[in-house]
Structure 1
């Protein structure tokens, strides 16, 4: 197997950009006051990312997965992320038994 130098440089540049972005966020957050609205927005990010990852697959695989994605979204609006994931797993298991 050979390593293309352009591919290696692209991967290295993406890794450096990722690390600098994360470090920059840690440094800059010290100068920002997070109010209730900002805190609520930040808390909405994990469920939003979860749905963005799950939705494309869930909506094309079958009714059980679609129901589970809907349940996960609904639970994520009120409960922590772990509870939302657990609800989705339970709904898909039950729906596969009864819906197919």
Structure 2
């Protein structure tokens, strides 16, 4: 049985994510962004990704360190979505086979 607190946590996290997207849309829907603001908005997903994986730079798990190297290589060659897919796949496979 799934813990009700876990379900509540997931629902609240999804709601918070949805609200931030809707509020951003409502606030910016009738505005024209400057080139600088546009560049900032485009860079934000990358910043979030880095904040999630950055703690693993100090990890001592070989699978994580190899996955980071693969992710950095993919990031130099691919756009954001393929890089995320490569990163998730590499991490999952390496953790499964290396531990």
TM-score (ref. length: structure 2): 0.51
Question: Structure 2: which 5+ runs fail to align?
Answer: 1-11
Question: Structure 1: which 5+ runs fail to align?
Answer: 1-11
Q: Within 2, Cα distance between the matches of 1:74 and 1:38?
A: 28
Q: Within 1, Cα distance between the matches of 2:86 and 2:53?
A: 14
Label 1:40 to 1:67 Cα distance change in 2 as closer, same or farther (>3 A): farther
Q: Within 2, Cα distance between the matches of 1:92 and 1:58?
A: 17
**1:82 — aligned with what?**
81
Deviation at 1:77, TM superposition (A): 5.4
Q: Would you say how many aligned residue pairs link Structure 1 and Structure 2?
A: 89
Deviation at 1:66, TM superposition (A): 1.9
Structure 1 segments (4+ residues) deviating >4 Å: 91-94
Q: CA-atom RMSD, angstroms?
A: 4.4
Label 1:39 to 1:72 Cα distance change in 2 as closer, same or farther (>3 A): farther
TM-score (ref. length: structure 1): 0.51
Contact 2:57–2:65 (CA under 8 A) maintained in structure 1: yes
Label 1:55 to 1:38 Cα distance change in 2 as closer, same or farther (>3 A): same
